[in-house]
Amino acid sequence: KQIIDIPTEIITFSDDMDGLRKVPDNIPNKEVLEKNLHKPLTSVPDPFNKFKSFGEHNNEMLKRFLDQFNFNYIFRSSTETYTNGVFNESLLLVLEKYEEIMNIMLPTLGKERKSTYSPFLPICPTTGKVLEVPIVEIKKKEGKIIYKNGDKKIETDVTNGKCKLQWKVDWAMRWYAFDVDYEMYGKDLIESAILSSKICKVLGKKNPNGFAYELFLDEKGEKISKSKGNGITIEQWLKYASPESLSLYMYQNPKRAKKLYEDVVPKAVDEYLSCVDKFTEQDEKHRLLNPVWHIHNGKPPQEKSIMPFSVLLNLVGTSNATDKDILWKFIKKYKKDIKAKEHPILDSLIVYALKYFKDIVQPNKKYRKPNEKEKKALQDLISRLKNCEKQLDPEAIQTIVYSVGKENGYSENLREWFKAIYEIIFGDQDGPRMGFFISFFGIKETIELINKCIK
């Protein structure tokens, strides 16, 4: 409303009347689904045994996920809108415009598909399955079709859930019925959107403005598949990081393909913290351009970040912390007057960091012993740290780490020096900014940690 005063509402639509075409790889009780192939998802038993149907299970998972982001939306179920008559008027219009719609669709189909294609998919009154069968006659005045199923010709209404529409026609009919002005879709649906736009115009309304976004990839660069279950799931992300960090990751560069796997989570969290920090220092114009303004519906938190999530993860590992009270003790060494209740973001980050470290980081740690050159350099670093003042600031400590590296043969390639530190001390090829980490972890504790690693 602050940007534009046009009333808006968001519709979340579930295609839960679609027939189940195949059994997903990542679900239990597959035999239950195998017995119900081609039935609407809302007529298929829930393999998780939590809801009345597989469709309802998926709908509830979707709503539960969306509710975490605190925005208003209207949920629509395909099954309910078809069976409750919401689409009746629009379905009769599709029947009225049958020939024009067929003229749009048929040129896009192969020879075999052309011979059987119809915009209408009857629901079999005997088996309850969604049928893809030829239509032998349409009765516009009666609002009925006659289709052939095996050797029988069957007459049925197109309204009240007796039929559903094929995908591209269904999408256009939805736009028409709900007066949709704007639609987002993955780039794999660009061709569908073009055809649906033509059909929407045939029905008598302007098609919505569209926005095609790129798809998510797993760490191998392969498309994430709902049936394969590759990549990181939304539930996993929200176990290891806040909904706001996920919102930011989704918000940025929608036209660029994004890899969605465990390793991107810490970076996304740190980018979110950076945006929150910038917001308080920005003027009104730049605040509106800051993603957190949109993520928090115009009211971002005022809390300044104390430390990056990446440093917090290293702190978990080096301190062997198993609960947040231990981590808070380390943080209070750096910020003596800090209180958890005044820093809810940091308090939640600590919980996320403990989970992420235990599940993702710890199983992949690969520590190595230092060679003689590295051992001498680390011993020199210990000597220099012993001479430090207890409250030395992070930048001064960082300068010491740099200097020790240069003095021990790494002046031409300081990256190798820091890589050695990370592999020997943290068991990883990447790590935190050392000055910042040491100031949090403590000089005495860092010396003990290095000594332990070079023995």
Structural domains in the chain, CATH included, are 11-83+170-217 (3.40.50.620), 224-364 (no CATH), 372-454 (1.10.10.350)
Answer yes or no: is pLDDT of 255 > 90.
Answer: no
What does the mean pLDDT of the chain come to? Answer: 92
Share of the chain above pLDDT 90, in %: 69
Q: How confident is the model at residue 222 (pLDDT cuts 50, 70, 90)?
A: confident
Q: What span, in angstroms and rounded, lies between the C-alpha atoms of 60 and 58?
A: 5
Distance (Å, whole) CA 221 – CA 438: 36
Rounded-to-integer distance, Cα 450 and Cα 375, Å: 10
3-state DSSP helix/strand/coil % of the chain, to nearest 5: 50, 10, 35
Compute CA distances 183 → 36, 68, 120, 213, whole Å: 32, 22, 23, 11
- The predicted model gives 223-229 an average pLDDT of 65
230: pLDDT strictly greater than 70: no
For residue 228, pLDDT over 80 is answered with no
pLDDT digits (tens, 9 = 90+) for 193-220: 999 999 999 999 999 999 999 888 877 7
Within its chain, how far is the Cα of 116 from the centroid?
Answer: 38
Q: Residue 294: exposed, middle, or buried by beta-carbon count in 10 A (0-12, 13-18, 19+)? A: middle
pLDDT of res. 170 = 98
Cα separation, 78 vs 42, in Å, equals 10
Q: Does residue 420 surpass a pLDDT of 70?
A: yes
pLDDT tens-place string over residues 139-151: 999 999 999 998 8
Residue type, 308: P
Using alpha carbons, list the distances in angstroms from residue 371 to 228, 375, 402, 405, 408.
43, 6, 19, 15, 13
CA atoms within 13 A on the CB side of 442: 14
pLDDT, position 75: 98
pTM reported for the whole predicted model = 0.77
